[in-house]
Amino acid sequence: MLVAVTRGVSPDIGHCELTHLEREPIDIDVARTQHTLYERVLEDLGCRIEHLADEPDFPDSVFVEDIAVVLGELAVITRPGALSRRGERPSIERALSPHRRLAHIRAPGILDGGDVLVAGRSIHVGLSTRSNVEAVEQLRRIVADHGYEVFEVGFRGCLHLKSAATAVSNDTLLINPEWVDAGTFPGKTCIPVDPSEPNAANVVRVGDTVLFAAAFPRTGGRLAAAGFDVQPVEASELAKAEGALTCCSLLFDVPNPIEHSTQE
């Protein structure tokens, strides 16, 4: 079964890190309502939600994706590029350690999970203000024994690689070609977002369903036309904190709980 690790919205979200956006007021109640609906959608799709205790002192702590990269074989605890986010790690380590062996990115490496796009056995890592080549080298060594190929990716115009590209299947990506070149992903089919929706490339794949932000119906339509089962999710309030859909969960497989038969 799938587990989704999530965390509620910090009351201090108004002091979040911002790189490409101007600061604007975030309505905490709206953000929390949308986040709860996001969790409910994941639950309806069969995920078991592991909702972590709030971290009120860490404004960006709802964006759990940045703190770890969870693979089938192990989880890599990142060293976030923003200093303000490094204290988010201990609680994520505690949450993941029952499920996976842990490895760590160490200084001088910096890595945000939002820069790490896993598609099948390919791991594409965006080089950004949050992620550097030292971290890519460390990640390459960490996963070397498990058959993954790790690629460095250049992109522009947004905070994380996964704002520019996410996987809708193991061999198909949704990309904004203004921010990342399709040629960056050899062997993958790339579906471009609708040009009027530059922020639409961040979608979450849950089993056979692809969740897309409700603000981007044209891109949702493109995915549906390409044969994907799509579902819109409202995520406009956390978008003001530069967060998108993938950022709010760590999704991974765990063995199904053993079912105890009542019959002798």
Spatial strand order in the sheet of 189-192? 165-167, 172-175, 189-192
The token duo for 249 is 């969960």
State which residue, 18 or 190, has the beta carbon closest to ligand CIR: 18
Residue 220 · residue 199 · CB < 8 Å: no
**Which residue among 16, 47, 158, 247 is the active-site one?**
247
Query: Cβ of residue 262: shortest distance to ligand CIR, in angstroms?
Result: 44
State which residue, 168 or 241, has the beta carbon closest to ligand CIR: 241
Q: Which residues pair with residue 192 across a beta bridge? A: 175
Q: What residues from 155 to 184 belong to the interface with ligand CIR (CB under 6 A)? A: 159-160
The token duo for 61 is 């702590």
State which residue, 60 or 150, has the beta carbon closest to ligand CIR: 60
State which residue, 39 or 226, has the beta carbon closest to ligand CIR: 39
Rounded to whole angstroms, how far apart are CA atoms 105 and 224? Answer: 37
Residue 81 · residue 127 · CB < 8 Å: no
Residue 228 makes CB contacts below 8 A (sequence gap 6+) with: 168, 169, 210
CA dihedral of residues 48, 51, 52, 53 (deg, nearest 10) = -150
* Neighbour tally for 81: CB within 10 Å: 24
Residues 58, 59, 62, 63, CA torsion sign: negative
Q: What residues from 218 to 247 belong to the interface with ligand CIR (CB under 6 A)? A: 241-244, 247
Work out whether 16 is an interface residue with ligand CIR (CB under 6 A): yes
**Which residue among 124, 160, 190, 248 is the active-site one?**
160
The token duo for 18 is 């911002």
Query: Cβ of residue 168: shortest distance to ligand CIR, in angstroms?
Result: 17
The token duo for 179 is 């921010």
Given the rule CB under 6 A, which of 15-23, 100-108, 146-154, 175-183 is the region that contacts ligand CIR?
15-23
Rounded to whole angstroms, how far apart are CA atoms 242 and 59? Answer: 12
Q: What residues from 50 to 109 belong to the interface with ligand CIR (CB under 6 A)? A: 60, 63, 65-66, 82, 85
Q: What residues from 100 to 159 belong to the interface with ligand CIR (CB under 6 A)? A: 114, 159
Whether 248 is a known active-site residue: answer: no
The count of chain residues that interact with ligand CIR, using the rule CB under 6 A, is 17
Whether 160 is a known active-site residue: answer: yes
State which residue, 85 or 188, has the beta carbon closest to ligand CIR: 85
Query: Cβ of residue 225: shortest distance to ligand CIR, in angstroms?
Result: 26
Residue from 4, 7, 17, 61 binding ligand CIR (CB under 6 A): 17
Query: Cβ of residue 119: shortest distance to ligand CIR, in angstroms?
Result: 16
Q: Which residues pair with residue 230 across a beta bridge? A: 210
Q: What does the binding site for ligand CIR look like in residue numbers (CB under 6 A)?
A: 16-17, 19, 60, 63, 65-66, 82, 85, 114, 159-160, 241-244, 247
Supply the residues annotated as catalytic.
160, 247
